[in-house]
Structure formats: C-alpha cells, structure tokens
Structure 1
C-alpha cells in the first residue's frame, strides 16, 4: 500500500497519488471529490450529461400506479 501526505498550495489542499496507484485513473477526466465522515476520500468521475442528445419523452415512463386506490392505511 502506497502512502502520501497532504500539502497546502494556495487556497487548496493537494494530495499526490503515486503513479502505481493511479494506473486506472484517466488524466483527462474531471473528478468530483467526496470525503466521508471517516476521512475517506473518493474520486468520482464527472460524466457528461447522458440526456444531452435525448429526444423529448424518450425516457418517459407511464404512471402505472395512477389508477390504484389506497386499500389500507396508506397516506393519500
């Protein structure tokens, strides 16, 4: 397991990732950075908008529950 340290650069904190650990990372991809409550840092690839070339209504799903009436203690 490789190790690294944080360092301050201007108003940012920098984490260097050893090349041996970054083999599957794309240098041309922009990443979201998420830190959880335990201090784990996740890099999440930023995807392009999958709906950019979608036709209007292409991802429409009919509401199959619209005609269903509550039969018990459901909140209406």
Structure 2
C-alpha cells in the first residue's frame, strides 16, 4: 500500500521525510496511518508520457558578424 509520510521515519531500509511517498506492506501501512504518521495515497490510473515534438532551430552558418575594414578612413 502506498502512503505519504506526515513525519520523518527511518528504518534499516529507508529514511523518509515528511511528504515522502513509499510502498509498505498492507499491515504496516495501516499501522502508520492509524498512528497518525502517514496518509493513504489513492491509486492513480497509469499515465503515459507523450513526447512533445521538438522544433528544429537552425542557426546561421559561415562567417561571424564582423565589421569590415573596407571604406574605413581611420587607418589613413
């Protein structure tokens, strides 16, 4: 059974903080819920991830933008 912790809890196989979710055996989960340490998590239907199409971004190839020395009278 999946539960959401309301308090911190640590054991030999886990260390949980408030807000963490974890699967526990049914009897252990019920004991933690009854003690006020956790809340049950409702089972969700399986969600499928759908990949968003990526937009191809093209950049200019070739010479970078530079200022030409031609027509510049500063070097005379």
Q: Which TM-score applies when normalising by structure 1?
A: 0.22
Between Structure 1 and Structure 2, the one with more helix by share is 2
- Pick 1 or 2: higher relative contact order, CA cutoff 8 A, min separation 6: 2
Quick check: which has more Rg, 1 or 2?
A: 2
Q: Which TM-score applies when normalising by structure 2?
A: 0.22
